[in-house]
Chains A and B, each alone.
Chain A
């Protein structure tokens, strides 16, 4: 390690004041502190010791929590491909196929995002923050598997610049950065991010007879339009190919969808990691699932269309709800920050997701809009929770 330290030390004069790359000082520090936790000591007044946990460790915890979803996503993309083309594929074939389509997206997301971030850090002379470690992974996981890479790059730049940097960088953003990327694509290139054809890669082979690449939410929506029971439509979808959308296969995640969102199980594994490590708020996660389930029950009672009649627990495993609630809603910067606020915020995300799903004719996936909408509302929720605290203090004074 001495070698690496010497290497950094050798470069250091160039980045110091008066050095030829003085402007890029923040990049030097950023990389050095990744290799080595810095040799900073506490000031002479105030706390003389500090907790051993820093933001880097918090962020890497979130990245690790997403790895099950990433690995499953890779495998599932291969799996969907072999179902669609009717070919036989081993576990390894599927994994390699999936990796070849996912890794470029991941690389583009990180490379473009970090480059944008670095540019801003140099211009503003900010230290490089760890936020993008998580955002880069999230952006990749919410992309459809066969999205053109230039769209990934464009969405990433848009999200980092408009979603985050214009507000002042990490910790200052109002909207969840990864959801901003996804929303950008949805509104800018709707054809490439919805419909039946974007989720599965066929290559030059024709689809096997009877195959439909529609997502579970699209199937549910269509059956609702046709007036057939949703559960039946889901369980018979692609059933001849052994790839139905039963509750269990949706829970496991063997369905088409964005890279990381299909498996509820993997999202729950991530949730366990995040809650056990104390990094994410369990209140938001429980609130999100609870709100969606409760709203599902309300919809069951109304039963205006077949989608509303779908059993409430189906909502929890369809689409990106689980992924969104676990990884997106819990982003501490854009979520509500008071403890009571977190309950309200989480529950409303679940509720809104289901409302958007069953009532919006254009786009059956609700979690994206629900999270973004609640990001905007979160400060308002907090405002009232904080106001209650102030009022308690004021009443105490006048009693």
Chain B
């Protein structure tokens, strides 16, 4: 029974810097990194290689001693050139210099007609496993759990996000194999959620072993958290898994060919990106070649991911495990005379307060990283509710986290959200609070207490 859900609440950020739907020629990235910080659930990371070791794609690099059956594998073959640590020896990056042609650890095709637990163990040891994320909490899934359902969002409504079907061209066979494997892992259904405002692309419409649901509406209609809420919401004690479409493809490749193929297509976007379009690379790629000559400028912000949930990286930084987009926008370190009062129709705003005429502007907005104001207590009410298409009261949830009231956090729905689900709240908040950080803080309180 596929479902059709039409959402009204939310906000589409129409920004300058979309990537045209074509592959472009840029110098290939040569170094790649695994960053334990990409996986919020990792408690005790342990590096399995030393500097100078040679590895293949799929060679285990890292594991979490708290869940050691899951390995984090090298995305490429080559040499481990640096293990970068920060304060208190916190593990930051494991960098690998790639060979010209990638060779893989091979284990032979995977037979799906086997015990669920055995299948899960094989996937966990393959390198593809961290693509599976557990809800609640948004952490890497535990192979020992059986989720009540697995959710795949087949489209991305984040600002400047890549066209997901374009990323998956030519991967139809692997996508199907990945879905088949997922169907074995759950006791319930695999939900594939597609953009209901467009014709369903062939790669999704022909899929077997999954329930195809249609979602339409403004962002965050494409967020898997929103979709779960409307399909089969998470209650206390429930476990569901989510996975992005290219993760499904990676699982499919492991199933059919027995290799961890970390290749993926990413979008180069943003108003200051020197050349916009799509490029083929591998998970954890160094961004310096993508951003080209502009990389050095201090006046630019290079973002691994999108502008709402992404992460600032420096010119020699690396994409995260889950990122499929690089965005470059101007930094906003400037003072603006009476900036809080000046009328404008070119500054992006969800609000219509005096002088903010952006709601009349149907064009694309050029944005920078200025916060446009200082942090304040919560004053305005009813704003978060307008961008939250779930039956959740965001203001009360945030206040429950601020006051560290565990019962309230649970009862108000903290099991249903992770950072990306409140990213729009953080954007529209006139009091400029760091709400994604707050939600992660709340999740950690619930997880570790």
- The chain A residues found within 8 Å of chain B, CB to CB, are 1, 4-5, 29, 33-58, 60-61, 64, 127, 129-131, 168-172, 273, 276-279, 281, 332-333, 335, 337-339, 342, 386, 389-390, 392-394, 396-397
Which residues of B are found within 8 Å of A56, using beta-carbon distances? 340-341, 373
Complex interface: chain A residues within 8 A of B338 (CB): 35-37
20 further interface pairs, Cβ-Cβ under 8 Å (given A37-B335, A50-B371, A396-B233):
A40-B370, A44-B311, A47-B426, A48-B303, A48-B308, A49-B308, A50-B426, A50-B427, A51-B349, A51-B429, A54-B376, A54-B431, A55-B380, A57-B351, A129-B376, A171-B431, A278-B352, A332-B381, A390-B411, A390-B412
Cβ 8 A contact of A54, one of B13, B354, B373, B391: B373
Q: In the complex, what residues of B have CB within 8 A of residue A60's CB?
A: 340-341, 353-354
Residues of B within 8 A of A392 (CB): 391
Enumerate chain B residues within 8 angstroms of A33, measured Cβ to Cβ.
340, 374
Contacts of A389 in B (CB 8 A): 391-393, 412
* B300-326 contacts to A (CB < 8 Å): 301, 303, 307-312
The 19 listed contacts between A and B (C-beta, < 8 Å) are A1-B337, A29-B374, A36-B336, A37-B335, A41-B333, A42-B369, A46-B419, A46-B434, A46-B436, A48-B369, A50-B370, A50-B371, A51-B350, A52-B349, A54-B376, A171-B378, A332-B381, A339-B382, A393-B235
Q: Determine the distance from Cα of A58 to Cα of B376 in the docked complex, in whole angstroms.
A: 12
B412 touches A54 (CB 8 A): no
> B416's closest neighbor in chain A, by CB?
A393
Are A47 and B340 in contact, CB atoms less than 8 angstroms apart?
Answer: no
- Report Cα–Cα, A282/B194, bound state, in Å: 36
Complex CA gap A276/B359 in Å reads: 12
**At the interface, yes or no: B347 with Cβ under 8 Å from chain A?**
yes
Decide if B337 touches A333 in the complex (CB within 8 Å): no
Evaluate contact between B309 and A47: CB separation under 8 angstroms: yes
Assembled-state Cα–Cα distance A64/B356 (Å): 14
In the docked arrangement, what's the CA distance between A333 and B381, Å?
Answer: 8
B437 is an interface residue with CB less than 8 A from chain A: yes
User: Which B residues from 327 to 348 make CB contacts under 8 A with A?
Assistant: 327, 329, 331-341, 344, 347-348
A386 touches B412 (CB 8 A): yes
Please give me the residue from chain A that is nearest to B334 by CB atom: A39
| Distance (whole angstroms) from the CB of B242 to the closest CB of chain A | 19
Judge whether A281 and B382 touch: CB under 8 Å. yes
Contact at B412–A57, with CB atoms within 8 Å?
no
Assuming the A-B contacts A41-B331, A390-B411, are A51 and B348 also in contact, with contact meaning beta carbons closer than 8 angstroms in the complex?
yes
Q: Could you tell me if A36 and B427 are in contact, using CB atoms closer than 8 angstroms? A: no
| Prevailing SS type, chain B contact patch | loop
* Contact status of A53 and B371, CB under 8 A, knowing A41-B333, A48-B329: no
> Are A337 and B340 closer than 8 Å at their CB atoms?
no
The listed residue with most B CB atoms (<10 A of its CB), out of A41, A42, A47, A58, is A47
A170 to B377, CA, bound (A): 7
Q: Is B367 an interface residue (CB 8 A)?
A: yes
Q: Are B311 and A37 in contact (CB under 8 A)?
A: no
**What are the residues of chain A within 8 A of B369 when measuring CB–CB?**
41-42, 48-49
B377 proximity list for chain A (CB < 8 A): 129, 168-172
By size class, the interface of chain B is 35 or more
Q: Which A residues lie within 8 Å of B344 (CB)?
A: 52
Residue of B nearest to A336 (CB): B381
Q: How far is the CA of A1 from the CA of B341 in the complex (A)?
A: 15
Is residue B385 contacting chain A, with contact meaning CB distance below 8 A? yes
Q: Does B423 contact A (CB under 8 A)?
A: yes
Q: Do A58 and B382 have beta carbons less than 8 Å apart? A: no
B residues in contact with A36, CB < 8 Å? 335-339
Complex Cα gap A396–B235 (Å): 8
Bound complex: CA of A335 vs CA of B380, how far in Å?
Answer: 10
- What separation, in Å, do the CA atoms of A333 and B371 have in the docked complex? 23
Q: Does B358 contact A (CB under 8 A)?
A: yes
Residues of A within 8 A of B353 (CB): 53, 57-58, 60-61, 277-279
Minimum Cβ distance to chain A for residue B381 (Å): 4
Q: Which chain B positions have C-beta within 8 A of A34?
A: 340
0/1 interface trace, chain B 420-446, chain A, CB 8 Å (1 if under): 000100111111101111000000000
From A49, A127, A277, B374 is in contact (CB under 8 Å) with: A127
Residues of A within 8 A of B385 (CB): 339
Partner of A47, one of B235, B308, B391: B308
B372 part of interface (Cβ distance < 8 Å)? yes
Give chain B residues whose Cβ lies under 8 Å from the Cβ of A46: 309, 419, 423, 426, 434-437
